[in-house]
Chains A and B, each alone.
Chain A
Amino acid sequence: MPAVALLLAGCGEGAWLNRRSAGPTGGFLEANRQDPALSGQGRFLASVVERSGRATLLLQEQPGGTVIRLRHFQGHQPHSSPSLSWTGRYVAALVQQGAQRVALIEDRATGALHRLPLPADRTAVRLSLAPDARRLAVQVAQRGQWRVQAFDLTGLLEPDLPGGMAVQGGGPGAPP
């Protein structure tokens, strides 16, 4: 079966739309793949796969599935809730740092890492990075209730716009 098989939406309930499987998971064939996130024009797909029993962020170019290595996420599993900017320059996700779930944003163009500090009484659950990288929304659990909080990133990140150049590979400092 081809790795990137074209499938047609079939009969039954709902519309017929062209679709395909996201394909192999970079050496983790048959693994569970969760939390998908596409860059603004679909060139990159981030998802979370099981790697040695740990939920690990996987960034792949589409449609071929080439794995793009990231510099800052290794060693901070479990990863969850990835989110990409328009060209895929910025990769945001929740990671584990000590006892805390922390939102990280990796800039693949510069290799820089940005960490979103949250008050100790809040646990990050999900996040969404705006495609232009101007804002970040984080779902937190606080005193047993879910809340969404929005953050302004304009002083932190350069905007990533639809016409921008996609970053090739993992950027400066990425592992080979």
Chain B
Amino acid sequence: MKRLLSATLLAGLLSGCMGSMPLPIGPLNRQLESLGANRDPSLSGRWLALISGKGGREQVVLVDLERQQPLPLPGLNRADAQPVSVSVDSAGERIALVRQLEGRTELVLYRRSLQSLQPIAMVPSGVPRQVQLQADGRQMAVQVSRAGLWQVDLVQIP
């Protein structure tokens, strides 16, 4: 009983002290650890998209934060493609991805409900490097290399 009271008191003190601190999300972080090396996180709504690698091969992973489980992304990952940058919208429906494939770098938009993958042209021509979808999924910001400069394009999504 005494031990229980002490534990309760300690928990109360900790929550009081740490109420204003960012707290690591233990179970989720352990789940992420199990995926291997991870980079390029994108949080939106109940979703976390990231690039995860194990055994020298990287792929895009979408984690449902409520269930703390990765979801299948049929048609998105390819064994011969190298993901560079990824971003997800708050509905978890659209995933924007910069990837290297067959010697070129391309931007693609994946729609999860349709399992469809749509290449997005860079105009004027340029090499995409990084992408971020705004949370409502209606626009994305793309960092593009053109004539030796980094520029940002804002691309509307119908």
Q: Contact residues of A with B, CB < 8 Å?
A: 7-22, 30, 32-42, 45, 47, 62, 86, 114, 116-117, 125-132, 135-139, 145-153, 155-156, 162
Q: Quick one: given A10-B121, A135-B25, A147-B37, are A36 and B142 in contact (CB under 8 Å)?
A: yes
For the complex, what is the distance from the CA of A136 to the CA of B22, rounded to whole Å?
8
A117, B18: Cα distance in complex, Å: 12
* A17 CA to B109 CA, complexed, in Å: 12
Residues of B within 8 A of A47 (CB): 141, 152
**Is there an interface contact between A162 and B136, defined as CB atoms closer than 8 Å?**
yes
> Known contacts A14-B106, A22-B153; is A127 also within 8 Å of B130 by CB?
no
Q: What residues on A are CB-neighbors of B90 within 8 Å?
A: 40, 131
Report whether B130 and A40 are in contact in the complex, using a CB–CB cutoff of 8 Å: no
Contact of B134 among A14, A40, A149 (CB under 8 A): A40
Interface pairs (7), CB distance under 8 Å = A8-B123, A13-B119, A15-B121, A36-B141, A128-B41, A129-B43, A136-B43
Query: Measured between alpha carbons, how far is A128 from B132 in the docked complex, in Å?
Result: 10
B139 x A38 contact (CB < 8 A): yes
Q: Which of B28, B106, B124 contacts A150 (CB 8 A)?
A: B28
Residues on A with beta carbons closer than 8 Å to the beta carbon of B25: 135, 150-152
Residue of B nearest to A49 (CB): B150
A40 to B43, CA, bound (A): 12
Please give, as numbers and ranges, the residues of chain B lying within 8 Å of A7 by CB-CB distance: 123-124, 153
Residue of A whose beta carbon sits closest to that of B38 = A148
The answer on a CB contact under 8 Å between A22 and B151 is yes
Residue with the highest number of chain B CB atoms closer than 10 Å, among A18, A126, A128, A162 = A128
* Interchain CA distance A7-B154 in the complex, whole Å: 10
Are B141 and A128 interface neighbours, CB within 8 A? no
Contact assessment for B149 and A151 in the assembled complex, using a CB-CB cutoff below 8 Å: no
Q: Tell me, in angstroms, the Cα distance from A33 to B28 when the chains sit together.
A: 33
Q: Is B122 an interface residue (CB 8 A)?
A: yes
B127 in the interface, Cβ–Cβ < 8 Å?
A: no
Interface contact A155-B149, CB-CB below 8 Å: no
Q: Once the chains bind, are B121 and A33 in contact (CB under 8 Å)?
A: no
Q: Closest chain B residue to A151 by CB distance?
A: B22
Q: Which of B1-9, B44-52, B74-82 contacts A (4 or more CB under 8 A)?
A: B44-52
Q: Which 8 A-B pairs have the closest CB atoms?
A: A14-B121, A36-B141, A137-B41, A40-B135, A131-B135, A22-B152, A151-B22, A14-B119
- At the interface, yes or no: B73 with Cβ under 8 Å from chain A? no
Residues in A neighbouring B123, C-beta threshold 8 A: 7-10, 12, 19
B10 at the interface (CB under 8 A from A): no
Chain A contacts for B50, CB-based, 8 A: 137, 148
